[in-house]
Structure 1
Amino acid sequence: MHDMAQAGLTKYVAEFVAAATPQDLPDDVIALGKKSILDGIGLALSGSVAQSGDLVRRHLDELGLMPGAATVIGAGRKVAPRFAAFANGVGIHADDYDDTQLAVASDRVYGLLTHPTAPALPAALAVGELVGASGREVMLAYHLGVEVECKIAEAIAPRHYQTGFHATATCGTFAAASAAASLLRFDAKTTARALSIAGSQSAGLRENFGTMTKPFHAGRASESGVAAAQFAAHGWTATDKILEAPRGFFQAAGGGYDENAIRGRLGAPWTFADPGISIKPHPSGSLTHPGMTEMARLIRENDIKSADVKRVRVGTNSNMPNALIHHNPHDELQAKFSMEFCMAILLLDGKAGLGEFTDATTQRADVKAMIDKVDFVIDEKAEKAGYHKMTTIIDVTLNDGRVIHGEADFGKGSPANPMSYEEVADKFRDNAAHARLGRSAADEVVALVRDLERQPSLERLMSLVAKAG
């Protein structure tokens, strides 16, 4: 157990959030954050045309809400901040195409901690609109949310995730509360209450993966954090030690935590700087991305034509097939967790974006035939490389007998092989087009986010993404 000398962890987090200023963000962290912010806005757009987006709007209709201050991206309406945070959080996570936190500790499987932007950004945007915050202030709030979320996820005992809690949902609630507290200019005591109210709303179970309830988690985390901050502003009471207390978050949800993963570590270094955040180049499970990045390179550099492919062997460590369980996918959700589909679609279509991950694509005869040519196996060399890497070894055998070989530990978009701002902008434009946002509007969003610290408010940015199609 933690003795009294280690009390005050919630106080430490609250003081960090309350004292932070835009000047505390290093230039490299600002630049990295802009990529994830642009990515998140694009995903809120594409998520608005997902089936879940339509259901969220029906839910908002049922609530009979008065018009509010915060934009529901892609829906052409403004509602109270908590509901905009919910809708936009669901949208960002709808296609599982949003960014992922990298684990530090070796007892955590690569990339399986949180999706940091989905809960943090919608809260920062919604409360930012409410208070008329500048681009710099919104950026700080977003970074504080990501930082608190990721460090809490690092600190909690791995049992939390292993036994079924969805960390994006649970830790994301603290992210949203931190972002909102920053924009509402809370002192440390009020911030601690906001975190504590958030902690009692922290929920989400992994049994719901593969359904609409997974993105519901992200939206609900964002909404709960905003609501927690608004209740704290009214003077609502709560404990001042929600994280560290024997009946608090870390013990109840994880059965323990590593004090050293969080105390003294907030902003030192910022998670964006080290170990980093991964941006997804494809709307599929991150474990497919090293193989997809390498396959795309092999196709490009060797001018591989799908008609010339006889067999494909893809070898990984034994942990990766535990997640990539669909060897002959029948719909879009299964395709996201199918190494065979991901290899086949690149060989056939040369790209793998939202337009390729559809139920109809999985039913195509050429896709089924190519999937039959892909062998997904456990490879001894990849196994020896360790679970904290995603080593993927590819051998493409052509009809003329040539074998083209490639290996990758990490995919495009990871800190080891990052996407540039322009590459993220291309992904954004693809997602914006998926939601039928005009090209000129998309280009202006790209430019506004690039200069976010110079924007006097969010007004122009949010008006551009308020309604697509």
Structure 2
Amino acid sequence: MTTSPAAPPAASPAARLIGHWLAGLERAGIPEEAAAVGRGCIIDTLGVALAGAGADAARMAREEALDIYATGPCTLLGGGRRCAQGAAFANTAAAHALDFDDNCYAGFVHGSAVVVPTALAAVEAAGGTGADLLTAVVAGSEAEYALAIALGNGVYEAGWWTTALFGAVGAAAAAAKAFRLDGDRAADAIAFALCGAGGLRACFGTSAKPLLAAQAAANGLRAARLAMRGGAVPHGVVEDPRGFARLVAQGRFNVTALEELGRRWHLLDPGIDTKAYPVCLSSHAAADAVRDLMVEYRLDPSDIVAVRCVVPPVVAANLTYDRPATPGEARFSLPFAVACVMLHGDLTLDHLSGPTLADPRLRAAMERVSMRSDPGWNADPDRARLAPEGADVMVETRTGKSVRRFCASARGTVARPLSMEDHTAKFLACAGRAIGPAAAQRLHRHLSAIDTLPGLDGVLDGGTD
């Protein structure tokens, strides 16, 4: 007599895979290389958040937080203290208000802008240490990026704004780690965050973009707090026929990405792109190409009669403002980025202003810049992989000479990382705008030694040595 082999155990739902991995993650289990990237994410994000706290969208979010959230132990950038949800909401808006925060190609997301402020708020609320903050940031980042890879980049291409969509998961994961939830409760937090996640790319160029990121942060943190209280939550929300994968990703879901949590570190692969310019990353490669050509061929702006940029479809889809009227629109304008670099040799926060946009020289330079989408860009798998937001740039001069540069990856991306000195200079320039040079230097020293901090009280004010 023969017996049938036992059926294999059913695979754990996605939320449970993430939740139990989160519960088991400790600082000692994070490889130092991944921890170093996480530390860099904290430094870069808090620098741009301090600079962004004065932006209109950030002020709006802070005022809303002061109005509707309870007083608590958590720091609001720009002034005040509120409960963890209020701080996550306000500080995420500040982190993303200038579009100077980092990117990750796992999901095409601004991961740190949501994860870092949420982790900071949750760790402050829990009375945790600097090491707890670093662990929560790594936890939230890895959970968000793994789920994004499992569902594929078709989510972004379909029009979802994945920073808000997946950011709720990153926020829930970071908060679950900071609050030290067990595996099932952490799974509850992930599942609940997914049930209400959303965000549309129609928000680009408007205040809705940083505010939707802020909403994702508050919702993710709230999901973790609700998980502590118990209740029935659908752990199968990703796989359910009425669930996340079918409705958002056309049914695509590769669970392997979640099963590899803790073995593949997404902070290292695909890694984190740190912005050199405070505008959408889609314009950076073209701007770099023009800047490099002008230096190499010693071109003056008056020498250039036309700049013709051929770009992948995703770049054209992101950069929808040919003639921007506001700084928000300029952040999503290839002609603005190229013209700014052409005239000034750089593109800084100071250039995102009404006077710069009104400069007749800039308006004239923008008229000389064109962008054409190449629908066949992704037909070559290597080009699609190595130059997802690249640019093929032709500069035509008054002498009739044309020079060309193909830029696969902009400065600051994983392929062309910024130096440590450039990272530090960016932080000091951003933070110094808000708290002054001396306090910015002190804060940079504290954040660079995040593992050694016994607590976070006063750190964001620059602290004392």
Matching residue of 2:457: 459
Q: Distance in 1 between matches of 2:305 and 2:200?
A: 42
Q: Deviations over 1:103-147 (max 9, x none)?
A: 4xxxxxxxx622111221111100111122121111111011011
Amino acid across the alignment from 1:270: W
Deviation at 1:383, TM superposition (A): 7.0
Q: Give the alignment partner of residue 35 of structure 1, picking from 36, 40, 45.
A: 40
Q: Distance in 2 between matches of 1:160 and 1:264?
A: 21
Report 1:11-26 matches (<5 A): 11-26=16-31
Q: Give the alignment partner of residue 351 of structure 2, picking from 341, 351, 356.
A: 356
Q: Distance in 2 between matches of 1:394 and 1:19?
A: 48
Matching residue of 1:109: none
Matching residue of 1:5: 10
Decide whether aligned partners of structure 1 residues 80 and 432 sit closer, same or farther in structure 2, where only a CA change above 3 A counts.
Answer: same
Report 1:47-446 matches (<5 A): 47-63=52-68, 65-73=69-77, 75-103=78-106, 113-156=108-151, 160-377=155-372, 386-388=383-385, 389=387, 390-400=389-399, 402-434=401-433, 436-446=434-444
Q: Deviations over 1:391-416 (max 9, x none)?
A: 32233344455544322101111110
For normalisation by structure 2, the TM-score amounts to: 0.90
Give the 3-state SS of the residue equivalent to 1:314 in structure 2.
strand
Q: Given that residues 167 and 217 in structure 2 are in contact (C-alpha distance below 8 angstroms), is that contact kept between their aligned partners in structure 1?
A: yes
Decide whether aligned partners of structure 1 residues 17 and 42 sit closer, same or farther in structure 2, where only a CA change above 3 A counts.
Answer: same
Decide whether aligned partners of structure 1 residues 335 and 248 sit closer, same or farther in structure 2, where only a CA change above 3 A counts.
Answer: same
Deviation at 1:68, TM superposition (A): 0.8
Q: Distance in 1 between matches of 2:324 and 2:315?
A: 17
Q: Given that residues 382 and 393 in structure 1 are in contact (C-alpha distance below 8 angstroms), is that contact kept between their aligned partners in structure 2?
A: no
Q: Which runs of 5+ in 1 are unaligned?
A: 104-111
Q: Deviations over 1:315-340 (max 9, x none)?
A: 33455333323222222223222222
Q: Distance in 1 between matches of 2:249 and 2:378?
A: 28
Q: Given that residues 169 and 194 in structure 2 are in contact (C-alpha distance below 8 angstroms), is that contact kept between their aligned partners in structure 1?
A: yes
Amino acid across the alignment from 1:197: F
Q: Which runs of 5+ in 2 are unaligned?
A: 1-7
Decide whether aligned partners of structure 1 residues 325 and 194 sit closer, same or farther in structure 2, where only a CA change above 3 A counts.
Answer: closer
Matching residue of 1:107: none
Amino acid across the alignment from 2:450: L
Decide whether aligned partners of structure 1 residues 44 and 34 sit closer, same or farther in structure 2, where only a CA change above 3 A counts.
Answer: same
Total equivalences in the alignment: 452
Decide whether aligned partners of structure 1 residues 325 and 45 sit closer, same or farther in structure 2, where only a CA change above 3 A counts.
Answer: same
Q: Given that residues 43 and 97 in structure 1 are in contact (C-alpha distance below 8 angstroms), is that contact kept between their aligned partners in structure 2?
A: yes
Decide whether aligned partners of structure 1 residues 190 and 339 sit closer, same or farther in structure 2, where only a CA change above 3 A counts.
Answer: same
Q: Deviations over 1:378-433 (max 9, x none)?
A: 57996765444233223334445554432210111111001133212222223224
Q: Given that residues 86 and 222 in structure 1 are in contact (C-alpha distance below 8 angstroms), is that contact kept between their aligned partners in structure 2?
A: yes
Q: Distance in 2 between matches of 1:375 and 1:205?
A: 26
Deviation at 1:373, TM superposition (A): 2.5
**Percent of aligned pairs with the same amino acid:** 27
Deviation at 1:157, TM superposition (A): 5.4
Matching residue of 1:106: none
Q: Distance in 2 between matches of 1:23 and 1:62?
A: 40
Amino acid across the alignment from 1:225: G
Pairwise CA RMSD of aligned residues?
2.4
Q: Which moved more, 1:163-172 or 1:267-276?
A: 163-172
Q: Deviations over 1:344-403 (max 9, x none)?
A: 111211210221122332221110121222243457996765444233223334445554
Q: Given that residues 18 and 182 in structure 1 are in contact (C-alpha distance below 8 angstroms), is that contact kept between their aligned partners in structure 2?
A: yes
Q: Given that residues 315 and 382 in structure 1 are in contact (C-alpha distance below 8 angstroms), is that contact kept between their aligned partners in structure 2?
A: no
Q: Distance in 2 between matches of 1:145 and 1:295?
A: 37
Q: Distance in 1 between matches of 2:174 and 2:32?
A: 20
Q: Given that residues 164 and 205 in structure 1 are in contact (C-alpha distance below 8 angstroms), is that contact kept between their aligned partners in structure 2?
A: yes
Amino acid across the alignment from 1:292: A
Give the 3-state SS of the residue equivalent to 1:259 in structure 2.
coil
Q: Distance in 2 between matches of 1:33 and 1:299?
A: 35
Q: Distance in 1 between matches of 2:176 and 2:375?
A: 49
Q: Deviations over 1:67-113 (max 9, x none)?
A: 3111011x22110001100011111111222211114xxxxxxxx62
Give the 3-state SS of the residue equivalent to 1:396 in structure 2.
strand
Q: Given that residues 290 and 395 in structure 2 are in contact (C-alpha distance below 8 angstroms), is that contact kept between their aligned partners in structure 1?
A: no
Q: Distance in 1 between matches of 2:451 and 2:12?
A: 36
Give the 3-state SS of the residue equivalent to 1:355 in structure 2.
helix
Amino acid across the alignment from 1:267: G
Deviation at 1:262, TM superposition (A): 2.3
Q: Given that residues 99 and 117 in structure 1 are in contact (C-alpha distance below 8 angstroms), is that contact kept between their aligned partners in structure 2?
A: yes
